[in-house]
Amino acid sequence: MYSAQKIEKKWQKIWARNAFKLWHALGQSKQKKFYVLDMFPYPSGDGLHIGHVVGYTASDIIARYHRMIGDNVLHPMGWDAFGLPAENYAIKKKIHPEIVVKNNVKNFRRQLQSVGFSYDWQREISTTDPEYYKWTQWIFLQLFKKGLAYEAEIPVNWCPSDKTVLANEEVIDGHCERCQSAVERKQLKQWILKITAYADRLLADLEGLDWPEKVKEMQKNWIGKSEGALIKFPISDAQSKIEVFTTRPDTLDGATYVVLAPEHSLINQLQSRIKNWSDVQQYTQQAKNKSERERQENKEKTGVELKGITAINPFNKEKIPVWVSDYVLIHYGAGAIMAVPQHDERDREFAKKFQLPILDRPLIPNDTVITKVNGQKKINYKLRDWIFSRQRYWGEPIPIIKCVQCGNVAVPEKDLPVTLPKVKNYEPTGNAESPLAAISKWVNVKCPQCHGPAQRETNTMPQWAGSCWYYLRYLDPKNKKAFVNPQVEKNWLPVDTYIGGVEHAVLHLLYARFWHKVLFDIGAVSTKEPFQKLVNQGLILGPDGQKMSKSRGNVINPDELVQKFGADSLRLYEMFMGPLEEAKPWDPKGIIGLERFLKRIYTYHEKVLAQPKKTVSTAGADKILHKTIKKVTDDIQQFRFNTAISALMIGLNEIEKTTIAQSQWEQFIKLIFPFAPHLAQELWSQLGKKGLLDYAAWPVYDSKLIQETEIDLIIQINGKVRGKIRVAKEITQAEAERIVLQDDRIKTMLSEKPKKVIFVSGRLINFVI
């Protein structure tokens, strides 16, 4: 009788004892390297989610398959443990985040091991380990030294409930990505990373990546390259000009007004000439409180005309009015636009509302227009610099010392890591300062440059920092001298296959690419891109078809499933649910079917054990086996795990009807191993095999055995398909004609003797009449 509980506990114990050798990737090896990476989890208090199990099972299948084909496989795991989720949980439970993380990691590790994932635990890392974040800080300092990390006071997104600044990428439709609170605007001094300096390369290098088109598209749109021109509109009776950015210079003749963003500096400069100044001032004041998103959303357009000011259309010299409106953003293009209501939807809405002229003028080719009005070609990006500081406790301290004399000074490398001080109070202050600011002992230091009194930067890094480079630290996790040994880095990069959720398309995946490129530029890594192939796993929805959430009560707990059905059934079911990349609802009954499949394998296995050792396979059994080997191998390579499993099911069905030699049954067990490793390993040892299946050779199919001996010959009359007939593959034309012409249906259709018969061997026969 198949007992998952017994089998799985037994082998997990053996694996755990062996883990360091068993799944440990070799630093140097003659074998081909294969680096298969999971997006590491943040160890939340809720433990492993059924959604984690999908991606982690997929990568485990890949890792096990690659070990069996003889590759040197790197398959590591770690913890993304800084950041809001861990900290919010700590605050709620009133337990220090460090302790929370420790406990949660322990639970996560236990859970991952209970599902039988073959991680190289010797390389386990946590972003919160000072030995790890020492190097996160070191990378920050490289950015700082290159001028890619700077401080500036800017309007930022502020989450009132998480009490911290958010990056643009963390604001979804005006709401905090974490807690869904409406985001507020605040003017704050912040550390910012100059990701915009890499906009063109982040875009261009997408080209060579084997990533889902959808993710590439999302990154492209987020980077938002647009080509256009800067064109100057002179202001009547004044020196100053209004510069606009347009992607449609060809529409210039039809520009009937100009619009400035509310923050545009010209507005104040022209104050003395603006006749309705108080209206204008009131309007610009209001606009300050809206987020960029709100302003871009398709709501009722608002605006005020700058009375007393007119601009001149440089193409036709017509005088046109100047307006201020918040649908124009200050940080995009030139912070001002030429409005062409005939061709632009937003301008048309605005023109209709304020009764501005809509002119249908002919288009003039861009290049002529630009030359005539002395315009300047310009490429614009929507991408903004990355706001990098957080006013929270649970993050990497930013390794900067603030000195009145010297300004911002890098902490000397020998003093890294700047460790997070142990504190009692880690709740966010809410006054835009990190809780670290209150720890004067930690804050007050000597300036490394002038040795005068100075203070530490008290903001911390965002949770994305640690995940920007963790795939590098896995390569050389214990290195004390460098974040990775260059030789080792060259051996392993790029990551061959990276598996994770699509929700990281413009956050983690863009940030990590950016840091990687900076490291490439300073010669610290050898590839331009970190992740060569990306595979997205789809969401597992609740049984109700909705996203799983505690509040909906539709969350499925992997621990219970492992207990009840076993890890192998869980792994198989999650892979069998449908294509890896698609969203799929959980079917509580589904797993039972997979458990039954495993039981059937076990039962058939007992039959094989009972048969005389000398039993030979029937020809049919060998053919089925080899067909299955081919299909499962192809499917694993294409990440089609659901069809691989159904091929295994079909294979078993057929094998059950025949007799198979033990040596052939062994091959079938190997095929099961990446999917259901516990059962396969158990059966392997029951066959008297010594050792572990992990490094047994993957079966190879014999192409002669799977060649079809019969085919469907297509029957045509005058080129039209009229039917098909099952015949021997090597059938001759004469024999084919004879058989087909005996068919009554064909006989009636052939009213006369064919003028000609065209025969394509193995494919078709065509009667021309």
Q: What 3-state DSSP class applies to 143? A: helix
Q: Which residue is nearest to ligand ANZ (CB)?
A: 343
Asked if residue 359 binds ligand ANZ (CB under 6 A), the reply is no
Asked if residue 222 binds ligand ANZ (CB under 6 A), the reply is no
With 0-12 CB in 10 A as exposed, 13-18 as middle and 19+ as buried, what is 501? middle
Give the Cβ contact number of residue 372 at 10 Å.
Answer: 13
Q: Distance between the two ends of the chain, CA-based, in angstroms?
A: 65
Whether the ω angle into residue 417 lies within 30 degrees of 0, i.e. cis, is: yes
- Shortest CB 150 distance to Zn ion, Å: 18
- Shortest CB 313 distance to ligand ANZ, Å: 12
765 sits in which H/E element: strand 764-768
Which listed range, 153-161, 326-334, 697-705, 732-740, lies at the site for ligand ANZ (CB under 6 A)?
326-334
265 vs 405, which CB is nearer to Zn ion? 405
Which listed range, 110-118, 335-343, 385-393, 684-692, lies at the site for ligand ANZ (CB under 6 A)?
335-343
Give the residue among 7, 11, 48, 38 at the shortest CA–CA distance from 548.
48
In DSSP notation, 454-477 reads EEE---B--THHHHTSHHHHTTST
Asked if residue 343 binds ligand ANZ (CB under 6 A), the reply is yes
Asked if residue 290 binds ligand ANZ (CB under 6 A), the reply is no
78 vs 333, which CB is nearer to ligand ANZ? 333
Query: How far, in whole angstroms, is CA 410 from its chain's centroid?
Result: 32
Asked if residue 302 binds ligand ANZ (CB under 6 A), the reply is no
Which residue blocks in 638-732 are alpha helix, DSSP H? 641-656, 662-672, 677-686, 703-706
447 vs 461, which CB is nearer to Zn ion? 447
- Shortest CB 266 distance to ligand ANZ, Å: 14
Asked if residue 380 binds ligand ANZ (CB under 6 A), the reply is yes
Asked if residue 85 binds ligand ANZ (CB under 6 A), the reply is no
- Shortest CB 190 distance to ligand ANZ, Å: 22
Site map 27..66 versus ligand ANZ, x via CB under 6 A = ----------------------------------------
Q: How many residues does the chain have?
A: 769
312 sits in which H/E element: strand 304-312
- Shortest CB 357 distance to ligand ANZ, Å: 15
Asked if residue 144 binds ligand ANZ (CB under 6 A), the reply is no
Asked if residue 328 binds ligand ANZ (CB under 6 A), the reply is yes
Asked if residue 276 binds ligand ANZ (CB under 6 A), the reply is no
With CB cut-offs between 5 and 8 Å by kind, which of Zn ion, ligand ANZ, none does residue 248 bind? ligand ANZ
Asked if residue 320 binds ligand ANZ (CB under 6 A), the reply is no
Asked if residue 202 binds ligand ANZ (CB under 6 A), the reply is no
259 vs 454, which CB is nearer to Zn ion? 454
Give the residue among 255, 412, 222 at the shortest CA–CA distance from 321.
255
Asked if residue 246 binds ligand ANZ (CB under 6 A), the reply is yes
- Shortest CB 228 distance to ligand ANZ, Å: 6
Q: How far apart are CA 639 and CA 61, in angstroms?
A: 9
Asked if residue 248 binds ligand ANZ (CB under 6 A), the reply is yes
With CB cut-offs between 5 and 8 Å by kind, which of ligand ANZ, Zn ion, none does residue 328 bind? ligand ANZ
- Shortest CB 446 distance to Zn ion, Å: 8
With 0-12 CB in 10 A as exposed, 13-18 as middle and 19+ as buried, what is 727? middle
Residues pairing with 531 in the sheet: 495
Q: What are phi and psi of 449, to 5 degrees?
A: -95, -55
Q: Which residues contact Zn ion (rule: CB under 5 A)?
A: 403, 405-406, 447, 449-450
How many residues in the shown chain lie near ligand ANZ by CB under 6 A? Answer: 19
With CB cut-offs between 5 and 8 Å by kind, which of ligand ANZ, Zn ion, none does residue 417 bind? none
Interface with ligand ANZ (CB under 6 A), residue from 344, 385, 529, 635? 344
Asked if residue 262 binds ligand ANZ (CB under 6 A), the reply is no
With 0-12 CB in 10 A as exposed, 13-18 as middle and 19+ as buried, what is 545? exposed
Q: How far apart are CA 117 and CA 571, in angstroms?
A: 10
370 vs 644, which CB is nearer to ligand ANZ? 370
- Encoded tokens for 653: 């069905």
Answer whether 175's CB lies under 8 Å from 182's CB.
yes
- Shortest CB 231 distance to ligand ANZ, Å: 9
Interface with ligand ANZ (CB under 6 A), residue from 35, 245, 323, 470? 245
Answer whether 504's CB lies under 8 Å from 39's CB.
yes
With 0-12 CB in 10 A as exposed, 13-18 as middle and 19+ as buried, what is 615? middle
- Shortest CB 242 distance to ligand ANZ, Å: 12
Which listed range, 49-57, 207-215, 247-255, 405-413, lies at the site for ligand ANZ (CB under 6 A)?
247-255
- Shortest CB 173 distance to ligand ANZ, Å: 18
With 0-12 CB in 10 A as exposed, 13-18 as middle and 19+ as buried, what is 235? buried
- Encoded tokens for 143: 């950015």
Asked if residue 537 binds ligand ANZ (CB under 6 A), the reply is no
Interface with ligand ANZ (CB under 6 A), residue from 31, 142, 226, 761? 226
Give the residue among 260, 262, 261, 259 at the shortest CA–CA distance from 281.
262
Asked if residue 338 binds ligand ANZ (CB under 6 A), the reply is yes
With CB cut-offs between 5 and 8 Å by kind, which of ligand ANZ, Zn ion, none does residue 449 bind? Zn ion
Long-range contacts at 303-308 (CB < 8 A, ≥ 24 apart): 303/259, 303/327, 303/350, 303/354, 304/276, 304/279, 304/280, 305/276, 305/354, 306/260, 306/267, 306/270, 306/274, 306/276, 306/280, 307/274, 307/275, 307/276, 308/273, 308/274, 308/275, 308/276
With CB cut-offs between 5 and 8 Å by kind, which of ligand ANZ, Zn ion, none does residue 403 bind? Zn ion
Which listed range, 304-312, 336-344, 451-459, 740-748, lies at the site for ligand ANZ (CB under 6 A)?
336-344
Give the residue among 69, 89, 28 at the shortest CA–CA distance from 696.
69
Which listed range, 77-85, 334-342, 471-479, 620-628, lies at the site for ligand ANZ (CB under 6 A)?
334-342
Q: Where along the sequence are the contacts to ligand ANZ (CB under 6 A)? A: 226, 228, 245-248, 251, 261, 328-329, 332-333, 335, 337-338, 340, 343-344, 380
